[in-house]
Amino acid sequence: MSEAIRYERVGDIAVLAADNPPVNALGLAVRQGLQAGIERAESEGAKAVLIYGTGRTYFAGADIREFGKPPQEPGLPDLCNRIESSPLIVVSALHGTALGGGLEVALSSHYRIAVPSAKVGLPEVHLGILPGAGGTQRLPRVAGVEAALDMITTGRHVGAGEALKLGVLDRVVDGDPRDIGLAYVQELLDSGAPRRAVGELPAPAPVDFDSVYDAVLKKGRGQQSPATAVRSVQAACEAATFQDGIIRERELFMDLMNSDQRLGLIHAFFSERAVSKLPELKGVEPRPLASISVIGGGTMGAGIATAALLAGLNVTLLEMNDAAAAAAKGRIEGNLQGALKRGKISQAQFDTLTNQSLTMATDYAALSDVDLVVEAVFEDMGVKKQVFTKLDEVCKPGAILASNTSYLDVDEIAACTSRPQDVIGLHFFSPAHVMKLLEVVVAEKTALDVVATGFALGKLLKKISVRAGVCDGFIGNRILATYRTAADHMVLDGASPFQIDKALTGFGFAMGPYAVSDLAGLDIGWAVRKRKRAEGMDPRARDSSYADKLCEGGNFGQKTGKGYYVYEAGKRGGTPNPEVMQLIEAERAAKGITPRDFSDEEIVRKYMAAMVNEAAKVVGEGIARRPLDVDMTLLFGYGFPRYRGGPLKWADIVGLSDLLDDIKTYAQDDAYFWQPAPLLEQLVADGRSFDDLNKETA
Ligand code: T1G
């Protein structure tokens, strides 16, 4: 018997205990142990089998690390069929998170009991696949088609109480999974309960699967797995036999397993966990984080304060005067009202957060004892230096001084203090209590335990924290500036902002770059363009002025009701602003440009080539630690479609060599903008991928 599954007899009951930390994934040894355990119980004349997990959870699914490797017997589908066909009564006792193949093993058992805190789910669609071990055939039989479609297409976790109501569980009893399991098995034996194979239950009545398919496909915004899963559930209703349904499920599962979307989503799954694991932080103790302060209560500061409050931290928010402090408190209360409405907090928690956990201040002396300060004042180096000089005077030794700047030089900010080792960048994304990305910007003199504290704060706030080096725009905004410029060049050459937005939403972005600019505020991009011109732009750089003219007319996007699009109060989205094309046509004429047509494919290819090329420079210069760090930045901060894994995963999938060839072709028209990234050239020359680099870089 494999040590992954321990076998024990308790009277007439054979007990199979899974011991495969950290989540009892159903790897080969576990599958072999379960199969051997069932066979041994039958050969020894046991009357029943109890399956449960030791440690933190019952099986949390197939072992995702086996995906893409040659299958090894017993496969999970066959194991589930084997469990279900046992002549003994098989019972599963669930705790923790019984997910994916884990829930499928439980569904192939004849009875299911769980502790009240247990959760069940079939989250396979989030990995680009579908439940492939009978889940789409068995769940509809116990829970009905509607509930099964909801659970399978959303992948959501379902609490034990709801699962009991749905018929997924038979019992919910508090206690140790082994104990409640043994008691339940004995009760079943004493009462002469029959085997109850789910696969032998009648096929559920069908629903209008075509409508469900269309609705799920539309909601998936290009992700295929949820819609394909609908077809697998349909087989549970329409296939001639249960086994035929299993065969159909397998076909659809393998189609998805062999898809690029599975590659992208698995890459995202492991990368979002790997990105905050830095070898240099191993064993480094973060500094205390009992109380933090935020300076500046505008949108960003109020968002950061809200995120910290929701994470259970005490927050002191410093504003310049009482009126500004009151306005800031109002923004925070507005944010918390949103959390209240969404059921994330109770009214009592809202009251505690606003009346006890949050302290408003207008005097720096209030910060004398805080562990960490996040400055979120106006994006001007002079203002920041004033703030950090003051912080250096009032904050206790060892307090961490962080700036939320989105592009300014954190080394320069640190240099105006006597404690550069305590200075770090913590770049949140707006709205800071919603967006998951946090760029932890490590300056030259930032101490290691300060970096560790930045990541510890990110974990507390449930952020995806990415280490960034110091440069203009760090990782995300630097890459954004480049691919946005590529879009502007295409506008000057003949594409329209509206066609570009449509092409990129077709690629999977939630919004195109121009709609995003309208949302963020066109004045932000305008200020960046003016700053860069003031700093002196390379004469070879193609500049565009049509957007400036749009801003000069007071059009800043959604907040003024008009930008690239015209927005009507109370209506989602906007309609193209006709003034925009007039400005673009005038600029093309002034520059002597004869506009040409662009296909959506060319727009996407050029936009993505610019993104990948700049990302390769960011990795090559060490601003981002690994390619996966860029992927996670774009996924969690810039709406990049998750099922593509991120720009550098996408590049690996489409092929680096062809991409480099395209960049060299574009360079024939604009050698300055399209200078190939040295790292990209190196990888192509060596026949390596960005993923190879991820593996090589610890
Ligand atoms: N396989 C391999 N490793 C896994 C894993 C899995 N299924 N789940 C988690 N890990 C690793 C994870 O990478 C991390 O490793 C560590 O465990 C702790 O995870 C046929 C084919 C269970 C809710 O999709 O949702 O079954 O970083 O940090 O926050 O239909 O892990 O420490 O090295 O996430 O407490 C379906 C995926 C698979 C569940 C726990 N199952 N996992 O969350 O810890 S497909 C899933 C999770 C399938 C069948 C198909 C979460 C969790 P490291 P963690 P956590």
Q: Which of 595, 616, 632 is the last residue of a domain?
A: 595
Q: What does the pLDDT look like over 108-129, one tens digit per residue?
A: 999 999 999 999 999 999 999 9
Same-domain pairing of 457 and 578: no
pLDDT digits (tens, 9 = 90+) for 393-447: 999 999 999 999 998 999 999 999 999 999 999 999 989 999 999 999 999 999 9
Q: Quick one: pLDDT band at residue 33, thresholds 50, 70, 90?
A: very high
- Residue 317 confidence (pLDDT) above 70: yes
- Tell me if 388 is assigned to some domain: yes
Q: Whose CA is nearest to atom 18 of ligand 1?
A: 22
Torsion of CA 475, 224, 22, 640, to 10 degrees: 10
Q: Is residue 602 in some structural domain?
A: no
Q: Are strands 423-428 and 437-441 parallel, antiparallel or unpaired?
A: antiparallel
Write down the pLDDT at residue 34. Answer: 98
Task: State how many domains the chain has.
Answer: 3
Ligand 1, atom 34, residue with closest C-alpha: 273
Rounded to 10°, the helix 476-493/513-520 angle is 120
pLDDT of residue 571: 81
CATH of the domain at 110: 3.90.226.10
Looking at residue 379, what is its pLDDT? 87
- Minimum mean pLDDT range among 231-235, 519-523, 583-587, 647-651: 519-523
- The reply to whether 175 and 247 lie within a common domain is yes
Domain boundary residue, one of 595, 614, 645 = 595
Pocket test for ligand 1, best of 20, 64, 95, 259 (most atoms within 8 A of CB): 64
To the nearest 10 degrees (0 to 180), the angle between helices 513-520 and 522-535 is 100
Q: Are 61 and 101 in contact (CB under 8 A)?
A: yes
pLDDT grade for 2, boundaries at 50, 70 and 90: low
Q: Ligand 1 center to residue 40 CA distance, Å?
A: 29
pLDDT of amino acid 520: 87
Q: Is 552 one of the catalytic residues?
A: no
At 698, the pLDDT band (50, 70, 90 cuts) reads low
- From ligand 1's centre to the CA of 99, what distance in Å? 9
CA of 120 to the centre of ligand 1 (A): 13
Instruction: Answer yes or no: do 199 and 53 share one domain.
Output: yes
Task: Decide if 315 is inside a domain.
Answer: yes
Q: What is the pLDDT of residue 322?
A: 96
Per annotation, catalytic residue among 104, 249, 272, 439: 104
530-564 pLDDT tens trace: 988 998 989 999 988 999 999 999 999 998 999 99
Residues 147 and 217 in one domain: yes
The CATH number that applies at residue 464 is: 3.40.50.720
First to last CA, the chain: 35
**Is 251 a residue of the active site?**
no
Contact between 295 and 402 under an 8 Å Cβ cutoff? The reply is no
Residues above pLDDT 90, as percent of the chain:
94
Spatial contact of 221 and 510, defined as CB atoms under 8 Å apart:
yes
Q: Is 651 among the domain residues?
A: no
Average pLDDT, the chain: 96
Query: Which residues make beta-bridge pairs with 114?
Result: 94, 172
* Number of alpha carbons in the 13 Å side-chain half-sphere of residue 37: 28
- Neighbouring residues of 496: CB distance < 8 A, sequence distance ≥ 6: 576, 581, 584
Give the least confident one: 450-464, 519-533, 587-601, 664-678: 519-533
Give the domain range for residue 223.
5-258
Question: Both 153 and 297 in a single domain?
Answer: no
| Active-site residue (options: 3, 39, 42, 124) | 124
Q: What is the pLDDT of residues 485-498, one digit of tens each?
A: 999 999 999 999 99
pLDDT exceeds cutoff 80 at 362: yes
Name residues contacting ligand 1 (CB within 6 A): 22-23, 25, 60-65, 76, 97, 99-101, 104, 123-124, 127, 131-133, 135, 270, 273
Residue 525 is part of a domain; what is its CATH number? 1.10.1040.50
Please report which confidence band the pLDDT of residue 1 belongs to, taking 50, 70 and 90 as the band edges.
low
Residue 183's Cβ-count burial label (10 Å; 0-12, 13-18, 19+) is middle
Question: Which of 554, 570, 595 represents a domain boundary (last residue)?
Answer: 595
Q: Which atom of ligand 1 is nearest to the CA of 269?
A: 13
DSSP string, 613-679: HHHHHHHHTTSBSSHHHHHHHHHHHS---GGG--HHHHHHHH-HHHHHHHHHHHHTT-TTTTPPPHH
Report yes or no: 423 and 396 within 8 Å, Cβ to Cβ. no
Closest-CA residue to 508 (of 653, 600, 642): 642
Same structural domain for residues 254 and 313?
no
CA of 265 to the centre of ligand 1 (A): 13
HSE (CB half, 13 Å, CA atoms) of 288? 10
**Residue 185: which pLDDT band, with cuts at 50, 70 and 90?**
very high
- Give the tens place of pLDDT for each residue, 226-280: 999 999 999 999 999 999 999 999 999 999 999 999 999 999 999 999 999 999 9
